[in-house]
Structure 1
Amino acid sequence: MAQNDKMKKRFYYIRYILLITIVNLFYVNGICQQAKKIEPALPLDSAVRTGKLANGFTYYIRHNEEPKKRVMMYLVNKVGSVLEDDDQQGLAHFLEHMSFNGTTHFPHNQLIDYLQKAGVRFGADINAYTSFDETVYELPIPSDKPELLKGVLEIMRDWAHEALLDPGEIDKERGVVLEEKRLGKGASERMQRQYYPAILNNSRYTVRVPIGLDTVLNNFKRPVIARFYNDWYRPDLQALIVVGDINVDQIETQIKQQFASLKNPPHERARIKYIVPLTGKNHFLVVTDKEMTTTEAEILIKHKAPGLRTKDDYRTALIQGLFDQMLADRYAELLNQSNPPFVSGSANISGFMGGLNSYNVSVQAKPGELEQGLKAVWRETERLKRFGFTSTELDRAKIAYLNGIESAVKEKSKTNSNSYVSEYKAYFLTGEASPGIEREYQLTKEEIPGINLTDVNDLAKTYITIINRDILILAPEKDKNSLPNEVIVNTWLNNVEAEDLKPYKDDINAKPLISTMPVPGKIKSETKNNEFNITTLTLSNGLKVLLKPTDFKNNQIIFSSFAPGGTSLYNDADYQSASSAAGVIAANGIGNYNIDELSKYLEGKQLSVQPYITEQYQGINGSSSVTDLETAMQMIYAYFTEPRADSAIFNGLIARSKAGLANRSNDPSSVFKDTVSAVMGNYNSRRTGPTLQKLELINLLKAYRIYKERFADASNFTFTFVGSIDTNTIKPLLEKYLGSLPSTNQHEMGVDLNIHAPSGRIEKIVYKGSEPKATVYLVYTGKYDYNPDNNVKMDALKESLEIRLLERLREDESGVYSPGVEVSKAKLPQQRYNFIVHFGCSPQNVDKLIASTLDEINKLKTNGPLQGNVDKWRAEDKTSFQPQLKTNNFWLAYLNLQLQNSQDFDQVNHYDSLMNGVKPEDVRTMAGKYLSGENYIKLVLMPEYLKKLDNN
């Protein structure tokens, strides 16, 4: 605005002085317009090949080898639910479903069958989503199979505009879409329907929620959805994004061959860009629901969202990023008080909808303390508006931002293809700049030093306004009569604004992290496993360290440790303190630093260190950049030797936990989850859900004592480090910070508590919730013969059943949206398994769908799976397994599991041969043995209104 005013003044001054003619006036005006110079958009990263065909179809192609021999393909459509006519509400999303149910080259369900045979999992890999403004299809595939690559491009072409929309398939899919809609029903959805019209200013978005209307979904005919398809699925609104280990020239040629023939409709409908208008009005809403578990308040102050296209836009985004980081730190500090004013609270600037963003202030209040909680979050916003940030806060935030992007630059050659896809998707849909990480790094280095306190503090003045402000209160229905009205809430906010606030004081601890530097130990022995490139060190205190250097990432080291023991060594009276001990200590800080000081100390460092205590083990997990490894080591040392216990922080932690549990019984899913856990744990108190009574049993001194005991004997610990390791550099750090840890050489072992699912056949129905929806868990459990061969066969059984349930329960019977099968196998402390089938459905279909599931299980036990389904499992497993071998996370988890189970590392080498050896008869045998039904648990969540009917 200032630039425009300046130019106008200049224009009129010249006109007055020179007294020019009309012709000259236009001439001078032209000069002035040139002087304004619209800043050019940041160019797209040159590493991506982009083009637009004559029909308007756009493509983005990039070669990227992370992961190797894989490619991501996304078809992006600027088409969403906002474009629906009144009789089409829900059909943008329905059409997404139909693209999987018959296209020109893949009629009926052949598309899914084709991809599964190629090793691509439905749901996990093959997927799509529909939102208000876009519909996106995604497909990751192996790129080293030319025929598959060609076939998938054909699929993308079919998705672009070759859906058959067969009336029979439409009718079958109605049930699936309605079941997907059913899964979303509940308190959140019911409350959203009430407040959406107000906060969306009655815009188009209010009446075009993507899931749609039952009346449309149940009754529409093919011409209605075909009209939407023909109007909007057109090349000028579509883009194909291809990123992966591919030949860019070949892919570009194939895209041109496949997509050039697409045609736009002869009479194109205008693709209106809908917005949420800024009306200048404020809204106040109180919405309650009997299944709501918390009392929450949110203040949204809406503004027109800035673009992100130019260098100036990038600077604005940097300022906002710094602003949000500093503000988040302030709110985090409030939680560490002895009597925190809320369960959680925050404020930030974030994207909203329809071309807007907003300044959001939110709070989850303690029961009966909404006034205190809302005032507390608003007080920090007012403090910010009045006094701004401090120079030390800004300096820390700048360092953190720079370190973060420097880390990204170091990893640029290891960037996952998904990251690039997300960038190009945003570039196509919204024009958001995608200049590439090196250019972003350069821009950040150029702009960060010049960003000052005025820049970030001005954001508060710009965003914290009194117009376009919505106040939303969500609460349990039982509290409805005690909730405030608009006058009262505005009085609370006005009172805060009238308070005599003090500026924020940024207390900084300048002490070293640990009180006393350790006396280094020594490396006593060293062995090398050349096959797996693993070095095993034994330190002088008995602690063992495994080092596996990799080149999967350029600047990542991840680590984990374990020692036997855990909470199994403590009686039931001490269990709550024992199970909470690691979390309590982590919330208190370490060494010379309390938790607030530690957060500030670590800001800008690329590391994470966290202790844990489970039933059988205790240890420390973490990650670090190469540069920050020593700091991570110091934190490990401090968690062993200098944990802190602050009663004020502990009391605040317990208070917040109690507040969070106060209305847990309102939520059907929480009640059912607790029931499942209790039944599966045979109602042992260590397996039942959280309660206020259990929180009362947690004692700070006892938790501190137990924590110290669990980390007193380093000789019992094994540490594994994987990643960007230089063994010569890391050894002195290991000697200094791990070799110096205390050891007692007790070598404790965990205790088998014999807690597992009960034997026999058990059925339990939970009646909770008002929506007509049910959740079903069918559990097979018992003793298990744990070995690599059985483990692979059990996975084949799991996948074979999941394929059949998807075909039958979803495709044939239209009774569920997404049936799932899960299997867990344990060697210690007992060899046992859990095999779980779960799905959501209509209450009236529960018995029918359970019968269908049991029928499919009986078929597996009697006849085994089809050879084709075993082949699909094998292809899918190989496709997903190979990329895992090139990740640090896989190797850390794998090595730890093998060590804990006392198994050889070379099992991974035999995985392919084990998979190749699985036959349908092997799966049939596993089904007969482990799905016999001898130990079978049926758990069902039903709506409350059915309880009376069942009782009658």
Structure 2
Amino acid sequence: MRLLRILPIVLLSAFCIYSAGAQTVPAGAKDQLMLDVGVKVGKLPNGFTYYIRKNIEPKNRAIFYLANKIGSIVETEEERGLAHFTEHLSFKGTTHFPKNKMIDYLQSVGVRFGADLNAYTSFDETVYQLPIPTDNPEVVKQGIQIMRDWAGAALIEAQEMEPERGVILEEKRLRKSAEERMREIYWPVLLNHSRYVDRLPIGTEQVIKNASLSTIKNFYQRWYRPDLEALIVVGDFDPAVMEKMIIEKFSDFKAPDQVEKRIQYGVNLDGKNQFIKVTDPEYTSRVIQIMSKHRSDVTRTRNDLRDNLIAGIYNELISSRFSELRKQANPPYLQGGTSIGNFFKGVDVASTVVAAKPNELERGFKAVYTELERVKRHGFIQSELDRVKNETLNYQESVYKERDKTPSVQYVKEYLQHFLNGEISPGKEYLYHFYRDEIMKISLEDINALVAKYYVDANRDIMVLGPESEKASLPEESTILKWIAEVKNTEVSAYSDNLVDLPLLQEVPKEGKIVKETKIKGLDITELVLGNGIKVVLKPTNFKNDQVLFYAFSPGGNSLYPDHDYQSAVNATTLVASSGLGPFDAKQLPKMLSGKLLNISPYLSERYEGFKGSTAPKDFETTMQLLYLYFTAPKADEAIFNGLVANYKSSLLNRENIPGLVFSDTANAVLGSYHPRRTGPSLAKANQISFKKAYEIYKERFADASDFTFIFTGNFTDSTIRPLLKRYIASLPSIKRKESWKDVGVRTPKGIIRKDVYKGTEDKATVQLVLSGDYNYGVQQNIAMDALQEVLDFRLLERLRKKESGVYTPDISVSYAKYPIPEFRVGISFGCAPEKVNSLIAAVEEEIKILVKEGITMDELAKFKAEQKLAMETQLKTNAFWNSYLVDVYREHKDPATLFNYDKLLIDLKPIDIQNVAKRYLNLENYITFVLYPEVKTSK
């Protein structure tokens, strides 16, 4: 289930075609948009709709969405929560897949429950999601059958309904938090007391506990019907064959004799202004948000697209202004900004928000409002607009280049919006030409007119959020209106665009040499050794047309520095990344790089330092120039850095009031044996951060490039990349020092430990179980451990969720490492009722003992193998996989050809192999239990 997040309002992208804010255009208008010609839309005589599109990204895969135009908004008072309850029960048994056989079948063909197979219920829709392999016609046939069963053949049985009550109650329990309590107070105000306020999809505890089988069946029969549903199928298949299968399966789908009208609800805008102040003991921020609400419509015409484009450009322009405001010696707020975008069904909003430091709400709010006032009075300037236009066109050009590589899921989501809301998706070719034709026609007057239209004092809500302890000092409406008046009566100067007309590099570095070359047969990988000692690994691909990923590493990291310099070390790359490069300061550099599709980030981890990022092929040289500057001309702006540190310190205040953070800090400290590098953040640690030491550490770590390894994957050719490697990488400084990382001595404690934490007021508990110890690292052992994780996931989901009805979804993680010492960890975590903690822990321990004693079944192993095979087939066609794989290979000194053996190792894996690792590592000898209880202690 998805819930709308109110804070902060997400900035609207200049490139999003689904923003709201369009004006209503009469049907039949000349500029009416047409749906992308690549999709076939049909409607059966019974009213059932289908969308079909052939797409081969990824190959041999398809994604099925079943959409129903009903959600919690249609529920009666006695049904609150039943739309969501019905969604849950649809997985528990259908006519052709009774008693959980659906999930068993899908897992047997490699589809994972939760990660792949899923559904959600919202206010106005319920959507079921199913990705399947298409290289087996029988699997495709069964996929269609599953969709047909979900559409109108769920069994809704009593024996499945009763245990599922507990699961849904636990899902509801997980949502309890300070933010949830506060939302319950301000939600009615922001939604103008509309029906949506009382129809949250999760429902009420009373209905979940007491709803009868007949009530749920009645809900299902009334609302799961062909005139409200659509099947969306995108993937690698024959569209004609797919359409025939859909028609055959869904033509006999009949609506009930008495069809209830689907009423469309909305949020009434009556022009009134509202104010609300909400506090909570566990809330630590100080926030003011002003929201001016407006009626909106969906995107149906070319003029709508133009309106969306103007709103997107405005948001990019104002976002850049606020980004600059934070890059100063003493930033006036922790977070702040303003944007125009969609808020809720049929409603757009112009939102202005600030999160301030303690005792600085007035300063922060006035700083944000001053920037808005600057735009209102003076507007934007042409150089700003030109940059955003350039960025937008470059982005759209990249999207257009990738049009034949578009993932199926992206198309599915576009057609889902078309069915649910009438949003037109005209296709990437249309959009590319639209942006190219229209963007240069947009003027400063268009942008400034948008500001005047949206930032008005009608339908305006002012919301103040803060800690309960500061309630008396938080401003009232009259105070905020007074601050606004003071800003309006203050002289505000026009914006000055501080541009520097210089090249990125003042001097082109002297070209270096490639001194050695090695080809790795079968993997299309080339290893180069440069004259300065750097190793470069090249893996050219055609997975994406406009993407190159890169990663660089060198052994050392912050492990080489004593504990008292650790805080400075971990902030060293932040210092440089926030200061600029070469002749450009932090404000000038983004302007110089305007329109470039690239990102590059330095990092300094415990054992390595390096860079990671991505670039479009046409911007590869610029990316290499930036990389060269990070080595040779890093900047360090002390004023900006000190401002960042000051904001960081402010964010730590009242941290001890947040239950989840207290719990995670406690667990990390215990698991790290209270080593200072593993305990949580604090003001004392923040005070250890030194500007001078951080900059010194950065320069030292990147003074010598000779022991770096660079890995590039993506769309490049040997002839285009080699000259740039010689120019910018082979010329990097090299002093040929010999060093490696150090073992800092962090060890997981041995023995049996239990740590209970009492924090928070909600009636919920969080459990984290950790088994750990020495590990026999090796490829075969690692695969067996991966299988062990999957089996634990199967078993504990079955036991804790289905049998005990005590959790929503347990989280299982199995990790292993070779360095700094070979060790493993098995983590099991879940949320539950406080009174069930010990019984559920006992259930986990019992399942572990059964697994160790009896091993696993061939069926469980087959599911793991099917999932791994399906996942690997897709991953092998991505740049991200290859970049990550090669980083692991070269960093850990492995054989790149190991990948060739994976299929054979997977095939050869036997149940006894998993039982052996279970016996060896699930022994409960080194076993740590963490439990977070509410402060009012519950008997255990």
Q: TM-score, normalised by structure 1?
A: 0.95
1:737 pairs with 2:728: yes
Query: Which residue of the partner structure matches residue 230 of structure 2?
Result: 239
Query: Which residue of the partner structure matches residue 71 of structure 1?
Result: 62
Q: Give the C-alpha shift of residue 36 in structure 1.
A: 11
Q: Give the C-alpha shift of residue 350 in structure 1.
A: 1.4
Whether the 8 Å contact between 1:680 and 1:758 is mirrored in structure 2 is yes
Of residues 624, 628, 634, the one that matches 2:619 is 628
Tell me the SS of whatever aligns to 1:945.
coil
Whether the 8 Å contact between 2:31 and 2:303 is mirrored in structure 1 is no
Give, as a single letter, the amino acid of the residue that structure 2 aligns with 1:105.
H
Give, as a single letter, the amino acid of the residue that structure 2 aligns with 1:495.
E
Query: Which residue of the partner structure matches residue 793 of structure 1?
Result: 784
**Separation (CA, whole Å) in 2 of partners of 1:286 and 1:818:** 35
**Separation (CA, whole Å) in 1 of partners of 2:295 and 2:263:** 18
Query: Which residue of the partner structure matches residue 696 of structure 1?
Result: 687
Whether the 8 Å contact between 1:514 and 1:642 is mirrored in structure 2 is no
Tell me the SS of whatever aligns to 1:59.
strand
**Separation (CA, whole Å) in 1 of partners of 2:582 and 2:747:** 39
Give, as a single letter, the amino acid of the residue that structure 2 aligns with 1:285.
I
Alignment of 1:329-478 (within 5 A): 329-478=320-469
Give, as a single letter, the amino acid of the residue that structure 2 aligns with 1:927.
A
Whether the 8 Å contact between 1:798 and 1:822 is mirrored in structure 2 is yes
Query: Which residue of the partner structure matches residue 617 of structure 1?
Result: 608
Give, as a single letter, the amino acid of the residue that structure 1 aligns with 2:750.
S
Of residues 483, 499, 506, the one that matches 2:490 is 499
Q: Give the C-alpha shift of residue 40 in structure 1.
A: 4.7
Query: Which residue of the partner structure matches residue 56 of structure 1?
Result: 47
Of residues 804, 809, 824, the one that matches 1:813 is 804
Of residues 240, 243, 264, the one that matches 1:249 is 240
1:279 pairs with 2:270: yes
Alignment of 1:621-700 (within 5 A): 621-700=612-691
Of residues 878, 889, 908, the one that matches 2:880 is 889
Tell me the SS of whatever aligns to 2:519.
strand
Tell me the SS of whatever aligns to 1:418.
helix
Whether the 8 Å contact between 2:575 and 2:637 is mirrored in structure 1 is no
Query: Which residue of the partner structure matches residue 899 of structure 1?
Result: 890
**Separation (CA, whole Å) in 1 of partners of 2:911 and 2:715:** 42
**Separation (CA, whole Å) in 1 of partners of 2:505 and 2:285:** 40
**Separation (CA, whole Å) in 1 of partners of 2:749 and 2:647:** 34
1:314 pairs with 2:305: yes
Alignment of 1:176-195 (within 5 A): 176-195=167-186
Query: Which residue of the partner structure matches residue 525 of structure 1?
Result: 516
Query: Which residue of the partner structure matches residue 842 of structure 1?
Result: 833
Query: Which residue of the partner structure matches residue 136 of structure 1?
Result: 127
Q: 1:305 to 1:775 in 2, by over 3 A?
A: same
Whether the 8 Å contact between 2:134 and 2:236 is mirrored in structure 1 is yes
Q: Give the C-alpha shift of residue 368 in structure 1.
A: 1.3
Aligned residue-pair number: 916
Alignment of 1:83-162 (within 5 A): 83-162=74-153
Whether the 8 Å contact between 2:568 and 2:691 is mirrored in structure 1 is yes
Deviation digits for residues 151-203 of structure 1, max 9, x if unmatched? 11111001101111112211110000010111111001100000011110010
Q: Give the C-alpha shift of residue 781 in structure 1.
A: 0.9
Gaps of 5+ in 1: 1-33
Query: Which residue of the partner structure matches residue 323 of structure 1?
Result: 314
**Separation (CA, whole Å) in 1 of partners of 2:320 and 2:297:** 24
Give, as a single letter, the amino acid of the residue that structure 2 aligns with 1:525.
K
**Separation (CA, whole Å) in 2 of partners of 1:678 and 1:600:** 42
Q: Give the C-alpha shift of residue 945 in structure 1.
A: 0.5
Give, as a single letter, the amino acid of the residue that structure 2 aligns with 1:666.
N
Give, as a single letter, the amino acid of the residue that structure 2 aligns with 1:865.
I
Tell me the SS of whatever aligns to 1:129.
strand
Query: Which residue of the partner structure matches residue 6 of structure 2?
Result: none
Once the two structures are aligned, what percentage of the paired residues are identical?
49
1:784 pairs with 2:775: yes
Query: Which residue of the partner structure matches residue 856 of structure 2?
Result: 865
1:830 pairs with 2:821: yes
**Separation (CA, whole Å) in 2 of partners of 1:390 and 1:405:** 23
Tell me the SS of whatever aligns to 1:319.
helix
Give, as a single letter, the amino acid of the residue that structure 2 aligns with 1:226.
K
Whether the 8 Å contact between 1:294 and 1:663 is mirrored in structure 2 is no
Give, as a single letter, the amino acid of the residue that structure 1 aligns with 2:499.
I
Of residues 903, 917, 920, the one that matches 2:908 is 917
Deviation digits for residues 275-295 of structure 1, max 9, x if unmatched? 111110111111001110211
Tell me the SS of whatever aligns to 1:297.
strand
1:592 pairs with 2:551: no
Give, as a single letter, the amino acid of the residue that structure 2 aligns with 1:227.
N
Instruction: Give the RMSD, CA atoms, in angstroms.
Output: 1.3
Tell me the SS of whatever aligns to 2:318.
helix
**Separation (CA, whole Å) in 2 of partners of 1:39 and 1:191:** 47
Q: Give the C-alpha shift of residue 692 in structure 1.
A: 1.3
Give, as a single letter, the amino acid of the residue that structure 1 aligns with 2:588.
E
Of residues 744, 747, 751, the one that matches 2:738 is 747
1:875 pairs with 2:878: no
Q: Give the C-alpha shift of residue 213 in structure 1.
A: 0.4
Of residues 525, 546, 551, the one that matches 2:542 is 551
Of residues 175, 179, 193, the one that matches 2:166 is 175
1:604 pairs with 2:595: yes
Whether the 8 Å contact between 1:860 and 1:923 is mirrored in structure 2 is no
Q: Give the C-alpha shift of residue 602 in structure 1.
A: 2.0
Query: Which residue of the partner structure matches residue 717 of structure 1?
Result: 708
Q: Give the C-alpha shift of residue 603 in structure 1.
A: 2.5
Query: Which residue of the partner structure matches residue 922 of structure 2?
Result: 931
Q: 1:39 to 1:86 in 2, by over 3 A?
A: farther
Of residues 285, 288, 312, the one that matches 1:297 is 288
Q: Give the C-alpha shift of residue 35 in structure 1.
A: 12
**Separation (CA, whole Å) in 2 of partners of 1:35 and 1:64:** 34
Query: Which residue of the partner structure matches residue 23 of structure 1?
Result: none
Q: Over alpha carbons, which structure has the higher Rg?
A: 1
**Separation (CA, whole Å) in 1 of partners of 2:621 and 2:868:** 38
**Separation (CA, whole Å) in 2 of partners of 1:212 and 1:73:** 27
Q: Give the C-alpha shift of residue 376 in structure 1.
A: 1.3
Q: TM-score, normalised by structure 2?
A: 0.96
**Separation (CA, whole Å) in 2 of partners of 1:748 and 1:517:** 30
Q: Give the C-alpha shift of residue 483 in structure 1.
A: 1.0
Q: Give the C-alpha shift of residue 37 in structure 1.
A: 6.5
Bigger mean CA offset, 499-508 vs 459-468? 499-508
**Separation (CA, whole Å) in 2 of partners of 1:95 and 1:69:** 32
**Separation (CA, whole Å) in 1 of partners of 2:913 and 2:47:** 53
**Separation (CA, whole Å) in 2 of partners of 1:170 and 1:925:** 38
Tell me the SS of whatever aligns to 2:130.
strand
Q: 1:850 to 1:37 in 2, by over 3 A?
A: closer
Tell me the SS of whatever aligns to 1:627.
helix
Q: 1:475 to 1:223 in 2, by over 3 A?
A: same
**Separation (CA, whole Å) in 2 of partners of 1:745 and 1:45:** 57
